[in-house]
Amino acid sequence: MSKELFHRLRFAPSPNGYLHLGHAYSALLNGKICADIGAEFLVRMEDIDQTRSRPEYVEAIYEDLKWLGLIWPKPVMHQSDRFPAYKEKLDWLIEQQLVYRAFLSRKEIKAFAQAYQSKTGCDWPCDPDGAPIYPDLCRQLSMAVSDQRATDGEAFTWRLDMAKAISMAGDDLTWTEYDFEFNPSIVKADPAAWGDVIMARKDVPTSYHLSVVVDDAEQDIDLIVRGMDLYQSTSVHRLLQKLFGLPQPFYLHHKLIFDEDGRKLSKSNQDTSLRALRDEQSLTSVEIEKMLGF
C-alpha cells in the first residue's frame, strides 16, 4: 500500500492532565504526515475515565494543539458521548459468551500473584504492561452465580475469555507496521500475552481497548500513528477488529520522548507540560518542534 492511500489519521489524547512533550511529538508527527500525504488530521478525546477526565484539560489540550499550529475538523468526537455504541459491542461479546464477570479487584489480583510467588517460588506471569495476568478464578463461574453476585452489588469488570476469543478469531492475526520511510513489515499479533483483558470497567460499559477499536473504525482511520507504549496493545486491537468484523487499519508506532533522566514523561510531571514550557520558560512552538527533531 502506498502512503498516498491513507486518508485519515488521529491524535487521541486522554484529557486527564496537561499535554507534555511526548504528546506534542505524537500530535505533530500525525499532523506532518497528514500534510505530507494529503490526509485528514482528526483529534479525538478519549475521556472514558469519568473520575480523571476534566473539562479544563479538554480546553487546555485544544489550546496547546492550536499553539503547536495544528488544525482539525469540529466537532471533535468525545468517547464519553459514545457509551451506547460501546455497550452494543459489549452486549454482543456477552451474548457470544466471549466475556465473563471478573470480581477480583486490582489489589486482590496483586495479592494472588504474590501468594503464588511465595508458595511456588515462581513468578506469576505478567502482561506486556507488567500487570499480573488475571487468574483463572471467575471464568468458570456459572451465569446464575455470576448474576447473583452482581445483583448483590459486588463490583466487577467484564473480561475477555482470551482462549475462546482466539479460537473464534484464529491465531494467525497480523498487522502491517510502517517505519518512517513508509516501508511496511508484517507483525504477528500475540493477544494471548495479555491474558483475559478488561473489556468493560466497573463504572462504564467499555475499556480503552474496546472503545479505541470501535472509534477508529467509526472514524475511518486508516493509519494509526501513536507511541511505542501502545505497540503491544495492537495485538488486542487486531483481535477485537477481527471479532467485530471491523476493517484493519495500518500502524506506525513512534519512539517515546524521555526526560533528562531517561524516564517516560508523565502528565503528573508539570515541568515538561507544554504550558510550562510556553508560559514559564517562554519557548516558542518553533523551538519545541526543533527540540523534538522536526
The residues of the shown chain that bind ligand GLU, judged by CB under 6 A, are 12-14, 46, 212, 226, 230
Is the Cβ of residue 20 or residue 101 nearer to ligand GLU in the bound state? 20
Whole-number Å distance between alpha carbons of 278 and 283? 5
Least CB distance to ligand GLU at residue 12 (A): 4
Least CB distance to ligand GLU at residue 196 (A): 21
Is the Cβ of residue 42 or residue 277 nearer to ligand GLU in the bound state? 42
Whole-number Å distance between alpha carbons of 59 and 95? 39
Least CB distance to ligand GLU at residue 17 (A): 10
* Helix (H/G/I), strand (E/B), else coil: 276: helix
Contact of 43 with 215, CB cutoff 8 Å: no
Identify the residue whose cell numbers are 469540529.
74
Identify the residue whose cell numbers are 524516564.
263
Whole-number Å distance between alpha carbons of 179 and 202? 37
Whole-number Å distance between alpha carbons of 285 and 265? 19
Least CB distance to ligand GLU at residue 216 (A): 8
Contact of 15 with 62, CB cutoff 8 Å: no
Whole-number Å distance between alpha carbons of 10 and 27? 8
Whole-number Å distance between alpha carbons of 222 and 4? 11
Whole-number Å distance between alpha carbons of 58 and 61? 5
Least CB distance to ligand GLU at residue 123 (A): 27
Is the Cβ of residue 52 or residue 290 nearer to ligand GLU in the bound state? 52
Is the Cβ of residue 20 or residue 159 nearer to ligand GLU in the bound state? 20
158, burial (CB in 10 Å: exposed 0-12, middle 13-18, buried 19+)? buried
Is the Cβ of residue 68 or residue 104 nearer to ligand GLU in the bound state? 68
Is the Cβ of residue 141 or residue 193 nearer to ligand GLU in the bound state? 193
Is the Cβ of residue 156 or residue 175 nearer to ligand GLU in the bound state? 175
Is the Cβ of residue 226 or residue 238 nearer to ligand GLU in the bound state? 226
Least CB distance to ligand GLU at residue 220 (A): 15
Least CB distance to ligand GLU at residue 182 (A): 19
Least CB distance to ligand GLU at residue 232 (A): 12
The three cell numbers of residue 97 are 459468551
DSSP notation for 13-58: --SSS--BHHHHHHHHHHHHHHHHHT-EEEEEE----TTT--HHHH
